[in-house]
Structures are given as structure tokens and as C-alpha cells.
Structure 1
Amino acid sequence: MQEVATGRKAESLCAEFLEKHNLTIICKNYRIDGGEVDIIARDGIYWVFCEVKYRQHESFAAVLEQIQPQQCRRVRQTARYYLLSNNIDEHTAAIRFDVIAIVGESKKIEWFKDAF
């Protein structure tokens, strides 16, 4: 349960961070069978699907390396489902997949736009 609480706290920090950078948070923890998107936001014309990663003692590069291709596929599949279920044409919509990493006790945030 500690990991879930830590994850939720990291997601809340990321949502606040994105709002400070003028993104509009649409949804947090969007889930379907077989997938989840941590944060769905709007950045101008873009639909932004964010994966949040928190690590206690790792570098930002290590966080990105831990995102496996199958996880990217699950996030993309979940994003596709969200768009279709909200009558948004995935072929014409501007879509971006970002990663936001929080590392260490200082909770330093690094934002990787269009990460995958």
C-alpha cells in the first residue's frame, strides 16, 4: 500500500507541475482492462498522455530506460480507447506521449515531452 500512496503523491505533484506549465488536466488514473494512463491533459491542440515515474535513487536516464516497449504499447492502446470512447478521431487529433520523472527526496521533476 505504501507504493500506491507514493505513486498517487507523485501523480499529484506531476499534475500540479503540468498545471503550472499551462496544461489542463482532463483525467488522472484512466484505466481500462490491460492498461492505464497516469495523467491525460491538454496542451494547446495536443492531447497529452503522461506516464509518471518516481524513483528514490536513480537518474532521469535510468527512469526512461525502465519504460519497456510493452508498457508503451499498453499506454498507446489505453490512449486510443480513451480517444475513441470520447468521439475524438485518433487520426486527426494531435497526440503526444510524455514521461514525467520524479527522482529522490528533493522530488526533482524532469519532463520528457514526446518521449515515445
Structure 2
Amino acid sequence: MNLFNRRRQGYHYESLAEQYLQRQGLTSVARNIHCRGGELDLIMKDGGCWVFIEVKFRAHNRYGSAAEAIDWRKQQRVKRAALYWLHSQGLSAEHCQLRFDVVAIQGDDRHITWLTNTLVEE
């Protein structure tokens, strides 16, 4: 699959995840934030809490589930990107509620699993 199609597929699954989370009561803030050292798929608010969401799709689990694809290294990149984004907004992680979630979309039926507060500390 070429880069254009992969990017379009990524946007599609991020949109599915965003719609799902909105139905759960979260509010959209931003999508596809790129910065040095990382990318944030979705930024949402859950009440007063900033939620940084990694979206992962797997058509099958031959190489592991969608959730298993979010390894420690990927979590650290998301964390760095989130801290950078907060700083760019004039916010401090020490003075904000924040969490890191994963939305895993799996299989032909596009089953959605929402995992909250998933960050593993260093």
C-alpha cells in the first residue's frame, strides 16, 4: 500500500475513533498534531482532563493485536509529543489533568476497544 493510501486509511480510522469517543462524551480538540519526535492522533477533553489518544488499526492479529502494537517506545513518543503540545499551548503538565488512551480497532468488523490511562512510566 502506498503512503497516500496508508495516510488516508489512518485518517479514516482516526475519524471512527473520534466519533466513538464523542459518543462517549469526550470533546474533540485537535487531530494529527506533528512535532519533532512524535505525533498525536487525537487530542480530546474529558471534562477538565486533557486526553491524548493513539489510534491503531489491525485487520488481523497475525502479528499481534492493535493494542499490542503500542509498545513502550511508541508510548514515550506520544508522551513527548503531548508535553510539547501542552507547552505550545501555554499549559504545564504539572498543572493539568491529563491521560493517555488507546483506541484499538481490530478486524473486518472494525471492533473498537478503548483503553484508558495506558501510559507506562519510564
Same fold (TM over 0.5): yes
Task: Give 1:87's match in structure 2, choosing from 86, 90, 99.
Answer: 90
> Pairwise mapping of residues 12-91 of structure 1 onto structure 2 (< 5 A)?
12-58=15-61, 62-91=65-94
Structure 1, unmatched stretches of 5+, are: none
Deviations 1:11-65 (A, max 9, x none): 0000101111111110000110221010000001110000000000129x73222
Q: Deviation above 3 Å: which 4+ runs of structure 1?
A: none
Q: How many Å apart are 1:107 and its aligned residue?
A: 1.0
Task: Work out the percentage of aligned pairs sharing the same amino acid.
Answer: 35
- Worse overlay, 7-16 or 65-74: 65-74
Q: Secondary structure at the match of 2:7?
A: helix
**AA in 2 matched with 1:105:** D
Q: Secondary structure at the match of 2:94?
A: coil
Question: RMSD of aligned C-alpha atoms?
Answer: 1.4
Q: Does 1:112 align with 2:115?
A: yes
- Worse overlay, 100-109 or 48-57: 100-109
Q: How many Å apart are 1:78 and its aligned residue?
A: 0.5
Structure-1 separation of matches of 2:111 and 2:86: 31
Structure-1 separation of matches of 2:10 and 2:101: 17
Deviations 1:44-96 (A, max 9, x none): 1110000000000129x732222121111110000001111111121021110
Count of aligned positions: 115
